[in-house]
A and B are shown apart, each in its own frame.
Chain A
Amino acid sequence: MSSLNRSENMQKHWRSLAELEATPEFLEKLGAEFEAGDEEAWTTSSRRRFLQLMGASVALAGATSCTWKKENIAPLADRPEGWVPGTSKTYASSFELGGYGQGLNITSYDGRPVKVEGNKLDPNSNGATSTWAQAAMLELYDPDRSRGVAQFENGNETESDWAAFDAWASANLKGAGAAILSEASASPSFMRMKAAWLAANPNAKWFTYEPVNRDNERMGCELAFKMPVRPDYNTGAAKVILALDDDLFHMHPAALRNARGFAKGRRPEDGHGMNRLWSVESTFSPTGGQADQRLPIRASQIGAFLAALEAEMGLSQVAAPKGGFLGEKKSQAFIKALAKDLLANKGAAMISVGPDQPAGVHARAQLLNVALGAVGHTVEYRPVELVYSGAGEIASLAKAVKSGAVKSLMILGGNPVYNAPADADFAGLLAELKGNTAHLSLYRDETSLSCGWHVPRAHFLEAWADTRGWDGSMTVAQPAIHPLWGGRSSIELLSSLIGEAKMAFTLVRETFSESVSRSDSAWRKAVHDGFVAPKAKGVPVTAVPLAAPQFDAATLQGEGLEIAFRADASVWDGRFANSGWLQELPDSMTKMTWDNALMLAPKTAEAEGVTTGSMVTITTAGKTLDAAVYVLPGHAQNAATLTLGYGRTAAGHVGGLLDADIRDLGFNASAIRSSKGMSWSSATILATGATYELAQTQEHHLIDQTGMQGREQRLPAIAREGSLTEFNDHPDFASHRVHHPANVSLFDKRLYDTGHKWGMTIDLATCNGCNGCTIACQSENNIPVVGKEQVIAGREMHWIRMDRYYSGDADDPQAITMPVSCTQCEMAPCEEVCPAGATTHSSEGLNDMAYNRCIGTRYCANNCPVKVRRFNFFDNTEALSKPGNETLHLMQNPEVTVRSRGVMEKCTYCVQRIHTGKHDARNEGRELRDGDIVPACAQVCPTDAIVFGDLNDPESEVNKMYSNPRNYELLSELNLQMRTHYLARIRNPHPDLAVAETADHNAHAATPEVHHG
């Protein structure tokens, strides 16, 4: 405990901010921040807490005052203990998406947060983060965020203030006739405030809508167990995993934990044996790409598949369904082998089902989990915190509005005007309430524009909150900065609606006292750690047998086209549409940026006479939408997928803003997603004859025969993989994929045998293509966003990219993902050819870039065999200097140069972190330890596929990886002595199905040896 818990010390410090004291506006905020509730609670908190508050205040005073009208500079007379200007501080926080949270660490410099990382202590994160959580940084500083309360009348916007809104709310949002529509949230404080509001307004109504929800899962569990539970998987304990239409490692609330557990069973040299992932799905998801066995079938056929599987396993009372796709040899063999595998691994098998599958499929799958003895080993059941939040809620709201039961509506977050079911006509519903509507939101989005009021929401990095982890843990979300635009969080707003107007901190602290512990030390620990572990292991369940198999026999044939709607890996349900980072993040499988598209299997596209880029008109239940086609190998046939979240018309200057004539991006799936078909529905498509240009970072154009052959020929040498059998026979098979004569160099090899010798390994066996590294790198290294046109032109800037290759049959291919960044060649070809000497080698083996010296001949990029160099073709940071975009300055990492136009850039192994690590070690008077320095990409990786360290340290993790038998060097025949090595991917096909598989893998014999003179 520091001396800072003495309030006098605090007082003294604040008094020294003479100018601040003189600002009434600041004092008001200061008062508000500190006044609420028990002052004791925070004054006795840790140094961390103090610094956080102080940092927020400094940022407010210096650069981010609410209105930009006034800038105050507040020199500190006495430097507070523990605060060194220019050094970073880290605070635990958390991020909620779709109702559940995930622990974060926020890095701040002088009171401005610049980087989101995972919370190492929280098992839901383990240091990793989703791309969405990381992109929160850009969202926080987004210049398009709403900057104040506004009133809308007939589409006219007038600025207003909180006092006016509060007056309106206290008059209108009260008693019978008042209603709230909120997002789904399992946050304890949120649920407490919801209860409090409902208690204060017993006749009021509360609705919850989440366009991407897990209602079906809950309903399924209720069917199976007669109690509201949800499955929590322990993938780490599973030997056999069956994912039914489930993107378990990307779109699941516990995706990071799932991926981490799964990765445990992917490193055969560990001696734990390998797990096996079976994936049955419609869309080729990254999880499907990880699968050892995959069967593409339509989403609606999963039920029939499961029934056939049950029958095969001898667990079904009724006869197995026959015919249709189940009549195919491939499916039969698949089901047979799968059944065998599951039964052989009782107690170590698990079945997960995607949230879009109907309740019946969930129910049967969970019953199978019980039958397989999964409970307590690979599956735990936890009580469901969330209420139902599906299309039914919108229907109930509509009914209530129509009957006059609801007269005023407060919408907490969400964007129902944009993403409510197409048949709900939500905008029309709001119109019926004649302006007696308000929307709490980060942006003045489609819903705000249709409401009477818009009130700005505090970003999650701006206000105290708590969330619930998927494992039942509670996370405490610390703010990292004072609200930039004076927003309120949803719990603050609810508190003001019931007349308490407490600050978020007080509310969260109260919740904690009520539900966890009244002890201050427990609270301080929770704030420090960022989370409180769940109390119980899980709830016991009793299986309730189901009567009949839950599937429709009509689905077997798979006739007609079926369109599935899925959350988008970039923009989720559209809420992240204004994030340039996410928009420009290439999708793991399609490599598409800035758009979504109607994904079709190659054969289906051929039958429809369309191809990638063709425009089609999609018709479902009377609604139509024109969208572009993307041909996705491995997609189920006669099925289509369209992701949500595109076609935003009031997202902002990045995601589409009709008012400013900024075209919307992609195609709005909500326009054809009706309440009856939220997951999928039958559809027809008709080519319009028009074409649309999609911006992909790989295969910018459809590849020709020659290119295809060349790619196939070299792929086994680039992204090396083998089967478990091959690994067991020859653990070092990867290094034998390419044979070449000994490399001889004209020059003496520099040895780097003293000091540090940085190296990295990337494990292709555990990389699941989640893209976390790409965004982490973008955030850490101030990498600019270039826009769709520039991506089409091939000028994206990502320093680490995720290569994805398919192999085998286009209808059912295998995929492999491979992160590629600068490999820091010891004999770097880029260095030799630079006439200006702008790229040179450091004594530690880093291939350094001197931006100041670069004149931009781009020769280095030509000579780079892995093409990881990125050139600033334009002034890519121009946006920073545009008026109104000042907040974006705050987002830049002060440790990394912002590059100018005409300069080459590339991965540096996060050289700034290397230096920080070395300085810290020196300051502490010790040697640098392995793990002190972690580049952003390695830090974020949920499966620890990326390992960085000192090759001169014999005990370092990276050295161990170097001696891993799967270790190989890319393009070793070029004698570049790359410092980044790869570890080959191992697939574990089921022995009964392996015959067909080995043909693809027996690449060694098929590939001519590479010789390089």
Chain B
Amino acid sequence: MAKAELTQLDVEAIYPANLIEGDPSFTQVTQEVAGITEWPKPPRAWYIAFAIALTLLGILGACLTYLVVTGVGVWGNNQPVAWGWPIVNFVFWVGIGHAGTLISAVLFLFRQDWRTSINRFAEAMTIFAVACAGLFPAVHVGRIWFAYWLFPIPNQMSMWPNFRSPLLWDVFAVSTYATVSLLFWYMGMIPDLATIRDRANTKIRRMAYGVFSLGWSGSNRHWHRYERAYLLLAALATPLVLSVHSVVSFDFAVAQTPGWHTTIFPPYFVAGAVFSGFAMVVTLMVPARQFFGLKHIVTMRHLENMNKVILTTGMIVGYAYMTEFFMAWYSGNQYEAFAFVNRAFGPYAWAYWTMVSCNVLFPQLFWFRKLRRNLWVMYPIVLLVNVGMWFERFVITVTSLSRDFVPSSWQYFKPTAIDMLTFLGSFGLFATLFLLFVRFLPMIAVAEVKTVLPTAHAHGHKKEEGE
């Protein structure tokens, strides 16, 4: 095959180290990324998006106020389905919060350089998703003003939480994850914050970025310690990727409700979390790179890699669905078997098949290279994955509870408008935080990206090849 016939695509495929398109200089990259935070005005789309986000946030505030004033009855939760949308939303958001740490920590440890363009973005998404997630368990309790009793705080009432309860494990798992993710994100951002500080032309900016860049001077010693610390944090954060969602899955797996009580839950939940997290990263990345002109830094290759992860984890999830059914049959336990038959053919069959199509069927299109590199194909698919993964949590939580052991208590669950508005509002919180992030913080890890620039390698692959 003649060399001349190689297309750009082929080249990228053959030489995976080709991570950044074009050949931007270090200055260019700095200018492009840090510049976004310095533009006198963000693009108009940002304003529109921010207005929408604030509106949704307002809705969230109104819903939560109404909830606190009135009682959890404003939601659709009922007697068999004591956990409804709030817990579904919690698991959904925690799941989304997985991609960040996976990309930052795990891919870092595996020296997957392509992560540099997207890790900051994904980490930010993680933090905000965990913030949304943390909101739900806190407000879903009956007496919100006593939610702090979940924490082992020594008190005059001699109250101590029950350490046998998976909900308590959850409190620790999620709070640890949130803390480590925040630290990891923030620490990784210090050199870039310093860059913005150095470029600042107003006093306020200098002060603000100055405080947060912790006196970073870019000295060799700084870099050395920074990289050590980053590596250590990455090593610390890596088990968390597995632990958080495993512990979240214990909320279900430890209970004896048919449909919940299965040992497959931890790996299945982790795979699902990575799946949904990557889908959400792509969901956010595609418009962001478009609007902020970062297409050459976040390239099609990055998107494609993420789509491959989505395809893989989607199949793991699909496999888990099948295993669940197999085990339900193989166990010979009529309650267990019924729980799954009921999922697929009972009153919630619509939710179950929505979940299966979104999570298992549509991602199969990513087998085709053309399709996984096509924005118009990938975008609907990742949106569907987001939907599917919400439904997965809905199916697990609600269908199992709605029909457990004693048939007299079976009941169909119906959400209320407040349920829906609260969930919608949580997107407002997420989007508000995200839009503030893209406006004021470096959304690409500038310092890291520079390490993979062709310029950083005097004999970059592409150039070698091009000769």
By a beta-carbon cutoff of 8 Å, the part of chain A in contact with chain B is: 698-701, 703-707, 710-711, 713-715, 717-718, 790, 793-796, 801, 803-805, 818, 820, 829, 832-837, 853-859, 861-863, 865-867, 869-875, 900-904, 971, 974, 1007-1013
Contacts and interface: CB of A to CB of B under 8 A. Distances in A.
Contacts of A805: 407-408
Interface string B404-418: 111111111010000
Interface string B73-85: 1001111111100
Contact of A793 (B78, B160, B168, B404): B78
B79 A794 contact: yes
Contacts of B82: 858-859, 861-862, 869, 871
6 contacts: A707-B346, A790-B73, A835-B162, A854-B142, A858-B83, A859-B167
Nearest to B405: A865
B256 A865 contact: yes
Contact of B407 (A718, A870, A872): A718
Given A820-B406, A867-B405, A875-B71, 15 more contacts: A703-B410, A704-B347, A705-B345, A718-B406, A833-B255, A835-B167, A865-B256, A866-B406, A867-B409, A871-B79, A874-B71, A901-B71, A1010-B332, A1011-B332, A1012-B333
Contacts of A1010: 332-335
Contacts of A820: 406, 408
Interface in B31-85: 70-73, 76-83
Main secondary structure of the interface of A (DSSP, over half): loop
Contacts of A870: 79
Nearest to B148: A855
Contact of B403 (A705, A710, A801, A871): A710
Contacts of A1009: 332
Contacts of B159: 836-837, 853
Nearest to B416: A793
Nearest to B332: A1011
Contacts of A873: 71-73, 77, 142
Nearest to B70: A874
A971 B407 CA distance: 13
A505 to B, nearest CB: 47
Contacts of B76: 793
Contacts of B455: none
B257 interface: yes
B164 interface: yes
Interface residues of B, number: 59
A366 B342 CA distance: 53
A873 B147 CA distance: 16
Nearest to B151: A835
Contacts of A795: 73, 78-79
A867 B79 contact: yes
Given A857-B141, A858-B142, A837 B406 contact: no
Contacts of B401: 862
B338 interface: yes
B176 interface: no
Nearest to A713: B334
A904 B335 contact: no
A306 to B, nearest CB: 36
Nearest to A1010: B334
B308 to A, nearest CB: 37
Nearest to B150: A835
Given A700-B411, A871-B79, A855 B73 contact: no
A705 to B, nearest CB: 8
B165 interface: yes
B341 interface: yes
B239 to A, nearest CB: 23
Contact of B78 (A794, A834, A865): A794
A867 B162 contact: no
B406 A902 contact: no
B406 A834 contact: no
B143 A855 contact: yes
Nearest to A707: B346
Contacts of B15: none
Interface in B71-127: 71-73, 76-83
Given A710-B407, A862-B257, A855 B150 contact: yes
B403 A707 contact: yes
B410 A707 contact: yes
A1007 B337 CA distance: 14
B146 interface: yes
A418 to B, nearest CB: 33
B407 A706 contact: no
A710 B404 CA distance: 10
Contacts of B318: none
A863 B76 CA distance: 19
A835 B162 CA distance: 5
Given A858-B142, A871-B142, A713 B408 contact: no
Contacts of A705: 345
Interface string B134-149: 0000001111101101
B147 to A, nearest CB: 6
A1008 B332 contact: yes
Contact of B165 (A803, A834, A869, A875): A834
B63 to A, nearest CB: 16
B171 interface: yes
A902 B257 contact: no
B267 interface: no
B218 interface: no
B143 A796 contact: no
A861 B406 CA distance: 13
A902 B142 contact: yes
B338 A714 contact: yes
Contacts of B405: 714, 718, 865-867, 971
Contacts of B165: 832-835, 859
Contacts of B287: none
Contacts of A713: 334, 338
Contacts of B162: 832, 834-837
Nearest to A698: B408
Nearest to A1009: B332
B179 interface: no
A855 B141 contact: yes
B92 to A, nearest CB: 18
Nearest to B339: A710
Contacts of A902: 71-72, 141-144
Interface in B326-353: 331-335, 338, 341-342, 345-347
Contacts of B407: 707, 710-711, 714-715, 718, 805
A713 B347 CA distance: 18
Please indicate which of the listed interface residues A837, A903, A904 has the most CB atoms of chain B within 10 Å of its own CB. Answer: A837
B380 interface: no
B153 to A, nearest CB: 12
B346 A855 contact: no
B166 interface: yes
Contacts of B147: 855
B254 interface: yes
Interface in B143-194: 143-144, 146-147, 149-150, 159-162, 164-168, 171
Contacts of A900: 143
Contacts of A867: 79-80, 404-406, 409
Contacts of B146: 836, 855
Interface in B366-409: 401, 403-409
Given A837-B161, A863-B255, A796 B79 contact: yes
A794 B411 contact: yes
B227 to A, nearest CB: 40
A971 B147 CA distance: 33
Contacts of A790: 73
A865 B258 CA distance: 10
A706 B340 CA distance: 11
Contact of A861 (B70, B79, B167, B331): B79
A862 B396 CA distance: 13
B143 A856 contact: yes
A403 B466 CA distance: 120
